[in-house]
Amino acid sequence: MPKAKKIKFAHMKRMINLRDTRIKEKDRLQPKKVKVPDSNQVTVKEAPQYSSALFFKYNTQLGPPFHVLLDTNFINFSIKNKLDIIQSMMDCLYAKCIPYVTDCVLGELEKLGSKYRVALKIAKDPRFERLPCLHKGTYADDCIVQRVTQHKCYIVATCDKDLKRRIRKIPGVPIMYLYQHRFSIERMPDAYGAPKL
């Protein structure tokens, strides 16, 4: 039985660099020249405009009653851990909390189907404030990030790592999450009830 040939996939010829010394001087590509900045010319740098509510990175707009913006997975994890959302928030912050739910979050819960009907029923509770959305689609993460960058008066409640990473880039926005079967908060200096990590 004859031996099968080995086929090399995506095998390319090696190309020599155009700046290589083996190429003749006239054909060689010239090295990039570094532009030296002129000391007499003024350079204009644009700094991002921060909210007037921030005192360095401390948000002065946050105060009781706290406005907590809920994410889909935060509601689901609260149910799995058998936690009453409003009561647990009050235990964490030692103050009155008003939970806010956007139309996107309700849309995501409706899309998840009958398995998450308890979460949907909790989100439609009259104690939860409803925030209308003007954008297309039901992707809640973009909506929450956009809303929080505009208005710095919210605490974002989420268990999603990607959303947490995005919100940490926005100064002055605390993040509420589940830690050891209770609510905890990060980036909020005066949260006395939150467990110390």
CATH code, domain carrying 121: 3.40.50.1010
- Domain for residue 80, yes or no? yes
What integer pLDDT is reported at residue 190 of this predicted model?
77
List phi, psi (to 5°) of 24: -60, 150
- Domain for residue 179, yes or no? yes
- Domain for residue 42, yes or no? no
- Domain for residue 111, yes or no? yes
Q: Domain tally for the chain? A: 1
What integer pLDDT is reported at residue 46 of this predicted model?
78
- Domain for residue 147, yes or no? yes
Q: What is the pLDDT along the chain (197 residues), one digit of tens a residue?
A: 677 777 666 666 778 888 888 888 888 888 778 877 777 877 777 777 777 888 777 888 888 899 999 999 999 999 999 999 999 999 999 999 999 999 999 999 999 999 999 999 999 999 999 999 988 888 999 999 999 999 999 999 999 999 999 999 998 899 999 999 999 999 887 777 788 76
Sign of the C-alpha dihedral, residues 33, 39, 44, 45?
positive
Sign of the C-alpha dihedral, residues 154, 155, 160, 162?
positive
- Beta bridge partners, 69, equal 100, 156
List phi, psi (to 5°) of 177: -150, 170
Q: Can you say how many angstroms the Cα of residue 106 is from the centroid of all Cα atoms in its chain?
A: 19
What integer pLDDT is reported at residue 10 of this predicted model?
64
- Domain for residue 99, yes or no? yes
What integer pLDDT is reported at residue 9 of this predicted model?
66
Angle at 101 between CA 80 and CA 57, to 5 degrees: 95
Which parts of 112-157 fold into alpha helices (H)?
Answer: 117-123, 140-150
Q: Are 180 and 83 in contact (CB under 8 A)?
A: no
User: In 3-state terms, what secondary structure has residue 154?
Assistant: strand
Burial group, residue 155, by CB count within 10 angstroms (0-12, 13-18, 19+): buried
- Using only C-alpha atoms, what is the Rg of the chain? 27
- Domain for residue 167, yes or no? yes
Determine if the pTM surpasses 0.85.
no
- Domain for residue 2, yes or no? no
What domain range includes position 142? 61-186
DSSP assignment string, 21-88: TTS-TTTSPPPPPPPPPPTTSPPP-PPPPPPTTEETTEETT--SSEEEEE-HHHHHHHHHTT--HHHH
What integer pLDDT is reported at residue 41 of this predicted model?
78
